[in-house]
Structure 1
Amino acid sequence: MTTLKSKLQADLNAAIKERDELRSSTLRLTLTAITKEEVAGTVKRELSDDEITKVITREAKKRREAAEAFAQGGRAEQAERERAEGEVLAVYLPKQLTDEELREIVVQAVEKARAAGAEGPRAMGQVMKIVNPEVAGQAEGGRVAALVKQVLAAG
C-alpha cells in the first residue's frame, strides 16, 4: 500500500524529470512542511495519511490567502502562481463539498443541536462539534463556521 507521502515523493520525482518547475517546487515545499511536522515535538514520527492531508490543506490555504493578498496588491503574476500551486495541491486533497452539500450538513447539525436544547449564538460550539467530523478535509473551517453562523442567525 502506498502512503500519501510516498505518492507525493514519486510525483515530485516525475515532475523533476519532466522539468515541471511549478509542480516540483510546490511538491518540494509541501514535503518539507510534512517533514517539519514529523520532527516537531520531542520524538520524530511518521505522519498518518490523515495528518498529511491536514498539512496539505494548510499549505493549500496558505496559497489561497497569498493569491488573494497578491491580487489585492496588484501583483497578478504572483497571484496566478499561488493559485496554480493551490491547484497542484488540490489533487491530493479530498474532493471539497459544494455549497449545497455543506449547507445540508450544517442545517441537519443545527436541527440536532436545537433538539438537544442548544439555541441561538451559544449553539455555535455544539453545531461545530457535530459538523466538523462530517466535513473533515472536505471544507475549510472558516467556510464552515461562516455558514453555521448564517444558518443559526436565520433561525
Structure 2
Amino acid sequence: MIRDDIKAAQITAMKAGDKESRAAISLIQSAIKNRDIEERVKSVQTDDDALVIEVLQKMVKQRRESIEMFEKGGRQELADAEKAEVAVIERFLPAQMSDEETSAAIEAIKAELGASGMKDMGRVMAELKARHATTLDMSKASGLVKAALS
C-alpha cells in the first residue's frame, strides 16, 4: 500500500538526516490524516490507495500553482523549495499515463459512449476519471478531451 511506502520513506529520511524529504513526507501524512477524518462521515468509503493518490495529486497541483506564482513574482528560492516537495510527493504516485496512452483511452471512451461533440465532454470526462483517475492528470486530460471532441 502507498500508505506503508510513505511511512517507510519517513523513517528512511529521518535516519538519513534528510530534513527536506522528512518535512515533505510529514506534510503528506498530515494531508492524508485530514482526508481520513473527512472520510469518516461519508457513508461510502473510498479505496485506501485511491484516497491517498487523490490527496497526493491535489498536493502536487497546489505546489505547481505555487511554483508558477513564485516564478512570476521573482521568488526563485521559494519556487525551488516547492519543486523539491513536488519531487518527494511524486515518488509515491503511480506512473502517469503518457499523452499517447491518454489519447488512446479518450478515443476508446469516445467510441464506447458515441460521443461526437462538446456536449458530451462531461460524460467522457466522468468515464475517464472513473477508469483512470489514479494514473492520469485530469487537468491535462481535459485539454485532450476538448481537442478530441471539437
TM-score bracket for the superposition, by shorter chain length:
0.7 to 0.9
Match of 1:147 among 140, 144, 148: 144
Aligned residue in 1 for 2:82 = 82
1:101 & 1:71 partners in 2: Cα distance?
31
Matched, 1:59 2:59: yes
Aligned partner of 1:104 in structure 2 is: 104
Moved over 4 A (4+): 41-47
TM-score by length of 1: 0.85
Q: Flag the structure with more relative contact order, 1 or 2, with Cα contacts below 8 A and sequence separation at least 6.
A: 2
> Normalised by the size of structure 2, how large is the TM-score?
0.87
In structure 1, the residue matched to 2:9 is 11
Q: Which residue of 2 aligns with 1:27?
A: 25
| Structure in which a larger fraction of residues adopt helix | 2
2:117 aligned partner: 120
Contact 2:5 2:92 in 1 (8 A): no
Q: What is the rounded CA distance, in whole Å, between the counterparts of 2:47 and 2:24 in structure 1?
A: 19
CA-CA distance at 1:103 after TM superposition = 1.2
Q: Which runs of 5+ in 2 are unaligned?
A: none
- In the alignment, what sits opposite 2:126? 129
- How many residue pairs end up in the alignment? 148
Bigger Cα Rg: 1
Instruction: Tell which deviates more after alignment, 85-94 or 105-114.
Output: 105-114
Q: Percent identity?
A: 29
Q: Give the Cα separation in 2 of the matches to 1:96 and 1:147.
A: 15
Which blocks of at least 5 consecutive residues in structure 1 are unaligned? Answer: none
CA distance in 2, matches of 1:46, 1:143: 24
Question: Quick check: 63-72 or 131-140, which moved more?
Answer: 131-140
26-35 or 142-151, which deviates more: 142-151
Q: Are the equivalent residues in 1 in contact too, given 2:10–2:25 (CA < 8 A)?
A: yes
| RMSD (CA atoms) | 2.2
